[in-house]
Amino acid sequence: MTRRIVLTLLYIFSLTNVFGQTEEAKLKISHLTREFYIYTTYSTYEGNPVPANGMYVVTNQGVVLFDTPWDTTQFQALLDSIKIRHNKSVELCIATHWHSDRTEGLEYYKQKGIKTYTTVLTDELSKKNNKKRAEFLMTKDTVFTVGQFSFEIYYPGQGHTSDNIVAWFNNEKILYGGCLIKGADAENLGYLGDANVKEYETTLKNVQNKYLNPTYIIISHSDWNNINSLKHSIKLAKKLKKKNYH
């Protein structure tokens, strides 16, 4: 009888291990192209787990990070994963607007000696809303060159928030749209509590007209493999504007 109990307990323990390993990882890293990677963390919104995508690029002078993990337990995990995978450290981090899914790790990364950046407007809103703030501030659209890569930070106008910015890698035709752009299968523009519904369509069109024929469009909360996300978001914004102002 004792042997049967022991075997039963061992069987239950083995099942627990198997099923425990199938749990959703808190940090997911996917290869985009060349030295570009998408990282995904998760948080709970209205009772449901929501993915938040960021991006990083591995240069010969270190790693450039776009936005920070939403999950506060993954700040160091992301740094460690990058170090193990690429044997490089994160040198620069840019947050694309003031919401927590973009800025939550800024203070932590600043303490780690990483250069953190936002726009002046994002900093003002972060201070007003008691969010984490960056060490360095951009006063205008800025071109960064880090190692072999150059990219432009562009403020297209108010949309998801009044301060949302995008990043554009011209040589690679990669557009990092953050939360401004929604998924190609999205039914709506998501959270609009800090949005400018009237200007959203114009802002998206500014991005579309400035950065022609992107190869990749990276967005925050949906699948980033569908290149139609920007066009679809413009349609949603146009529809929303008509609903509210006609």
pLDDT per 10-residue tile (average), the chain, 246 residues: 43 38 75 97 85 97 98 97 98 98 98 98 98 98 98 98 98 98 95 96 98 97 89 97 78
pLDDT score, position 245? 67
| Domain contains 17 | no
| Domain contains 1 | no
Q: Where residue 202 sits, what CATH number does that domain have?
A: 3.60.15.10
d(CA 78, CA 136): 22
The pTM is what? 0.89
Which string of DSSP letters, residue by residue, matches 35-72? TEEEEEEEEEETTEEEEEEEEEEEEBTEEEEES--SSG
Cα angle 121, 65, 31; round to 5: 135
| Domain contains 6 | no
How many Cβ atoms sit within 10 Å of the Cβ of residue 110? Answer: 17
pLDDT score, position 243? 83
d(CA 156, CA 168): 12
Residue 228's domain spans which residues?
24-245
pLDDT score, position 223? 81
| Domain contains 2 | no
d(CA 42, CA 26): 6
- Residue identified by tokens 């360095």 is 136
Domain count, the chain: 1
pLDDT score, position 150? 98
d(CA 24, CA 58): 26
| Domain contains 162 | yes
pLDDT score, position 48? 83
| Domain contains 95 | yes
| Domain contains 15 | no
